[in-house]
Structure 1
C-alpha cells in the first residue's frame, strides 16, 4: 500500500508540474478536459474572483479554449514573490494592448500584468478604486477617493487618467459621490455615481467629463444609487439603478449620450449586464430588506430596437440551481454564455457555461465570489 501511494504521489506531482498553456505555466488547481478544444481568435478568458471583503482572497483564474482546460488561482503560482498576492476584493478586470489590468478595491490599487503570462509589471496605487475604461493609449479608472466607510461626509469621487506606457496617473477629475462603472462615447467620459456611502441620501447622477479639458462639464439626473453603465453601437448608454433595497426598486434606463436625455425606463431589475452582437444580456438578483429575500431575473434586450426580446437566457433548471448569480459574459464568436454563482459568498463559487440557446455545457468551481471576466485574444 505504501508503494502504491508513492507512485500515486509521483504521478500527481508530474501531472501538476506539466499542466500549462502556451504562455501561462500553472502548477496547481487544474481542470483538464472541461470542454472541447476550440481554435478561434480568442485564446481564453481570465476570471477575477472578488474574495470576501477583509479576507484577502482575491484570485485569478484562466480558461484556455485551445485545450478546454480551466486553471484556478494562477496569480500566486506565476508571481510567487508578491506578498499578500492580489489582495482584498477584486472589482474589475480588463485587457488593453498587451497588458491586463486588475482593480483591487479595498487594497487601493490597480495591478498591471502581462496579458499573456499574468506576470506582474507594476502596481498603481489608487484609493478605493472601482472600474476601468480605455481610449487612445490611456486608461481611466473611477475611485471613491476615500476609505470604505458609510459616512454622510464622505468625499466626492474622482476619475483618473493613466498613461498606459509609463503606468502613471496624469490627470484627475472630481465627479459625483462613490462613482462606479464608466464608458467613453465620442470625446466624453460618462461615470455612474452611486452615493452608496451617503445612504439614504444616494447620488442619482451620471457625470460627464470632457476628455480634452478633463473636467466634469455636466451631470445627468437618472435615479438613485446608480451602478452599471454600458454603451451600445448607436450612441446610447444603458445605466442601472440599485434602488434603496426597501421601497425603490432596481431599474434600468436608456440614455442618449449626445443629449443626456432619458429615452426609456425599462422597469427591470438589473444587477449586471453585457452587450454582445447588439444584444444586451442581463440578470437581476434584487434584495429587499422588507422581505429579506432575493428576486432573480434574466433576459435579453435588442439594442437596435431597444426592446426586450427574451425574459430568459438559460434553461429554468439552472435558473433554479444558481443560488447567487454574480457575473456574466458572452463569447462574441460562439455566443456561449458564462454565468457565475457566488453561492453564500463564503464557499468557493461556480462558473457555468451555456450555449447560445441557454443549454448547459459545463460547470466548474471557481474562487471565492467569482465575478469579472475578460477575453484574451490570440
Structure 2
C-alpha cells in the first residue's frame, strides 16, 4: 500500500512516501473465557489472528482492554480480567508482565513510566501493599516493571491521559448499581511526578466511561449515562483551562462518543452508542468534533454529524460497531464490527479520504488498536523539509505536528520516538 503526495511551496517541501500500515488489534474475546487474542495487520491483510500466542507460546489472557506505545522498544497491554499489564516489543515478543494491579483498565505513558487506572482496592508497590476505598492510578517504572506508586482517585476510574506533567483521570462510579456509592461525575488531576491528587473537576455528567482520545490540550470523554433516565453525553475537556482553575474548562455535548479517536488534524471522530433498558435497544450517532471550536463557542458549533468519505455509510452496515481508529502516522482509518459479540468480528480499513479498502475477519470483540511506526525505508510520517535547514517536523503521539515540545512528553521525529528534555 503506497500513497505519494508532493506539495511545493515557495520555501517548503512536504513529502509523504510509502504509507506502510502496521497495526496491532486487541480482540477482547468473551469475558471470563480467557480467550483474548492479538491480531497483527500489515498493509492490506491480516498476518495473524493469534500473533501473541505464535510469538510467545502462550495466551495473552482474559479480556485485554487497552494498548499503548511506551517508547521505541516497548508496548504495554492492559489485560483486565487476568489482572496483568503485559509488556511486549514491537515485534510481539513478551518482555515482562506486572501482576500487582487487579482489575486494571486504561493506560498512558511518558516513555519512562506507565500509568494505569484500576477499579480495585489494593495494589502491591515497592513500598508495600496499598489499600484504597475507591479506585486508583498505579505508576509502573518500565526499567524494573515494578509499581513505584499508587494514588486513590474516584470510584471505578477509566480513561487516563497525560498533559503538562499531570494525569487526567475520568471516574465512572460504574459499580453504583451494585455497590454502596453513587455514580461519579469528576475528572481527577494527579501530579505524575509526585503522584499526589491535586484536585477533582466536576463535569456535572455521570459515569465517565471508556478510553479518552486526546488532541493536545483537549480530551473527548464519553458518558453512557445510567441506561435509564440520564441519557448518554460527551464531554470535551480543556486540560489547560482546568489547570488554570477556569470553571469553563469543559463543554457537554448531547451526543455519545462510545468509540472515538483523534485525527491527524486534531479533531475527534466518534461513534456514539446509546443503550436503554426501557427499550432494550441501541441508538447510534456519528460525529466529527473540532474541540477548539467547541470550547470557543461553548458548544454552539464545532460538531458535524458526518465522518470522512464513505466511512459513515459503511459503518451503518455493521452489525455492531465496536471500535474506531486513525493511524497517527499515515491517516488511514480503521473500524471494527463485533457482530453478535460471540463470533469472529471484522476489521474495516479505509483510506485517509474514507474510501473502503477492505474487510478482514479477525476474532471475538475486536476493540483496541495500536499503529506501529512504518519502517525507516517506508516511512509514512509526514515530513516537512526546509531545503535551507534540512530540519524535519516534530509530531506528538496523536500524529499532530508540534512546534515546541513539552518537557517529559513523547514525540516522533524522522520515524524515531524520544522524550523531550
Does the alignment reach a TM-score above 0.5? yes
The aligned counterpart of 1:257 is 239
Q: Does 1:231 align with 2:214?
A: yes
Instruction: Indicate if the aligned counterparts of 1:143 and 1:159 stay in contact, CA closer than 8 A.
Output: yes
Instruction: Indicate if the aligned counterparts of 1:191 and 1:229 stay in contact, CA closer than 8 A.
Output: no
Of 104, 108, 117, the residue aligned with 1:133 is 108
Q: Match of 2:358, SS? A: strand
The aligned counterpart of 2:321 is 325
Of 115, 121, 124, the residue aligned with 2:95 is 121
Instruction: Indicate if the aligned counterparts of 1:51 and 1:59 stay in contact, CA closer than 8 A.
Output: yes
Of 285, 304, 307, the residue aligned with 1:312 is 307
**Alpha-carbon separation, structure 2, partners of 1:329 and 1:112:** 22
The aligned counterpart of 1:76 is 53
**Alpha-carbon separation, structure 1, partners of 2:30 and 2:367:** 12
Of 180, 199, 219, the residue aligned with 2:200 is 219
**Alpha-carbon separation, structure 2, partners of 1:352 and 1:274:** 15
How far does residue 316 in structure 1 lie from its aligned partner after superposition?
Answer: 5.1
**Alpha-carbon separation, structure 1, partners of 2:316 and 2:112:** 43
For residues 77-129 of structure 1, the C-alpha deviation after alignment (integer angstroms, 9 at most, x for no partner) is 1111x3xx11110110112221121110011001111112x111111012000
Instruction: Indicate if the aligned counterparts of 1:285 and 1:324 stay in contact, CA closer than 8 A.
Output: no
The aligned counterpart of 1:303 is 291
Q: Match of 1:76, SS? A: helix
User: TM-score of the superposition, structure 2-length normalised?
Assistant: 0.74
For residues 336-370 of structure 1, the C-alpha deviation after alignment (integer angstroms, 9 at most, x for no partner) is 21110111110111101122333321001111100
Instruction: Indicate if the aligned counterparts of 2:75 and 2:88 stay in contact, CA closer than 8 A.
Output: yes
For residues 52-71 of structure 1, the C-alpha deviation after alignment (integer angstroms, 9 at most, x for no partner) is 10111110011112x74532
**Alpha-carbon separation, structure 1, partners of 2:34 and 2:78:** 14
- Give the alignment of 1:37-76 within 5 angstroms: 40=18, 44-65=22-43, 68-76=45-53
How far does residue 42 in structure 1 lie from its aligned partner after superposition?
Answer: 5.1
Instruction: Indicate if the aligned counterparts of 1:191 and 1:206 stay in contact, CA closer than 8 A.
Output: yes
Segments of structure 1 that go 5 or more residues without pairing to the other structure are 1-35, 148-153
Count how many residue pairs are aligned between Structure 1 and Structure 2.
331
How far does residue 41 in structure 1 lie from its aligned partner after superposition?
Answer: 6.5
Cα 1:61/1:329, change in 2 over 3 Å: same
Q: Does 1:337 align with 2:328?
A: no
The aligned counterpart of 2:60 is 86
Tell which deviates more after alignment, 331-340 or 125-134.
331-340
For residues 12-70 of structure 1, the C-alpha deviation after alignment (integer angstroms, 9 at most, x for no partner) is xxxxxxxxxxxxxxxxxxxxxxxx467647550100001110111110011112x7453
How far does residue 240 in structure 1 lie from its aligned partner after superposition?
Answer: 1.6
How far does residue 215 in structure 1 lie from its aligned partner after superposition?
Answer: 1.3
**Alpha-carbon separation, structure 1, partners of 2:37 and 2:46:** 17
Instruction: Indicate if the aligned counterparts of 2:306 and 2:312 stay in contact, CA closer than 8 A.
Output: no
**Alpha-carbon separation, structure 1, partners of 2:337 and 2:155:** 29
Cα 1:155/1:51, change in 2 over 3 Å: farther
**Alpha-carbon separation, structure 2, partners of 1:294 and 1:281:** 19
Q: Does 1:180 align with 2:158?
A: yes
Instruction: Indicate if the aligned counterparts of 2:328 and 2:371 stay in contact, CA closer than 8 A.
Output: no
Q: Match of 1:77, SS? A: helix
Flag as ranges the 4+ runs of structure 1 deviating above 3 A. 36-43, 67-70, 312-317
**Alpha-carbon separation, structure 2, partners of 1:176 and 1:310:** 33
RMSD, matched Cα:
2.1
Q: Does 1:165 align with 2:143?
A: yes
How far does residue 333 in structure 1 lie from its aligned partner after superposition?
Answer: 4.5
